[in-house]
Amino acid sequence: MPKIKTRRGVAKRFKKLPGGRIKRRRSNAGHIMSKKSRKRKRVLRQGTYISEVDQPRVERMMPY
């Protein structure tokens, strides 16, 4: 059976951690930052984890 290809777009956006969780960047931090509050921009700099329901789907997309 052939190897499964990794979806490169997913591999660039997510990172698997040793505990099995998957880390992601927060959305809405790309541009038009002037109208966002200082606190909101500070929170957007920090990463977060994907939800439990999305975890199996992302793991299928990046098997290695």
Q: What is the pLDDT of residue 48?
A: 97
pLDDT per residue as tens digits for the range 22-39: 999 999 999 999 999 999
Is residue 7 pLDDT above 90, yes or no? yes
Phi-psi region of 45 (alpha: psi -120 to 50; beta: other; left: phi over 0): alpha
pLDDT per residue as tens digits for the range 37-61: 999 999 999 999 999 999 999 999 9
Query: At the top level of CATH, which class does the domain 8-61 belong to?
Result: few secondary structures
Indicate the SS3 state at residue 50. Answer: coil
Is residue 1 pLDDT above 90, yes or no? no
Q: State which amino acid sits at residue 46.
A: Q
Q: What is the pLDDT of residue 33?
A: 96
Rounded Cα distance, 38 and 58, in Å: 31
